[in-house]
Amino acid sequence: AGARVLLSARSLEKLEAAREEIVAELRGIGYPDPEGRVTVLGDVDVADEAAMRRLFDHATNLYGDVDFLINNAGIAGAEEMVVDMALEDWNRTMEANLISNYSLIRKFAPRMKARGRGVVLNVSSYFGGEKYLAVAYPNRSDYSVSKAGQRVLAEILSRHLGPEIQINAMAPGPVDGVRLRGQ
């Protein structure tokens, strides 16, 4: 209610389609000015630090202070056993799924902390395991490790960012959609 949202991703075309769906839903339930509530920024690769800086600058220029940071971007990983995986593939998954979270938290959290409030949510995965339990996903170990890292990052930073900033990681299981259906 009243939120203004910036969506970012690599594909501007997909972002614009998602924006139209959201705007239509908001219009359908009677929110005023739904077109003004959702903005998009394309050509943002979360594995690219310059893109992370551009996203931060765009968000703060657009909105000033940001109340919620939702780290939901990522890639599925290399689909190889860890012993067969190229280091470049491992690093790409870590950059996209874990280091991007750190990068954006590092940019947004100081402003949230100074204001005395903020929320950060890292969208992890069931395959990132639990605190004392790993989930076997042998042909996607890069993905599993990166998602476990998102959870651990939230646990560790909660002690340093709180109580002003609430930081959590949620770990959904497989979600029905085009990726799960192989489309």
> 112-160: per-residue pLDDT in tens?
999 999 999 999 988 887 777 777 777 888 999 999 999 999 999 999 9
Half-sphere exposure of 44 (CA within 13 A, CB side): 25
- Alpha carbon separation from 135 to 51, 87, 92, 131, 139 (Å, rounded): 32, 22, 21, 11, 12
Active site residue 143: yes
pTM of the predicted model as reported, rounded to 2 decimal places: 0.88
Q: 25-60 burial, b for 16+ CB within 10 Å, e for fewer?
A: ebeeeeeeebeebbbbbeebbbbbeebbeebbeebe
Widest CA span in the chain: 54
The larger pLDDT score, comparing residue 139 to residue 46, is at 46
Taking the C-alpha atoms of residue 61 and residue 104, their distance in angstroms, rounded to an integer, is 15
Identify the pLDDT of residue 178: 66
Strands 68-71 and 118-123 turn out to be parallel
- Residue-wise pLDDT for 52-78, tens only, equals 999 999 999 999 999 999 999 888 888
For the chain, the average pLDDT equals 90
User: Which residues are paired to 80 by β-bridges?
Assistant: 140
Residue of 63, 126, 137, 143 with catalytic role: 143
Taking the C-alpha atoms of residue 11 and residue 1, their distance in angstroms, rounded to an integer, is 27
**Best CA proximity match to 69, nearest among 168, 139, 135, 156:** 168
Taking the C-alpha atoms of residue 139 and residue 144, their distance in angstroms, rounded to an integer, is 10
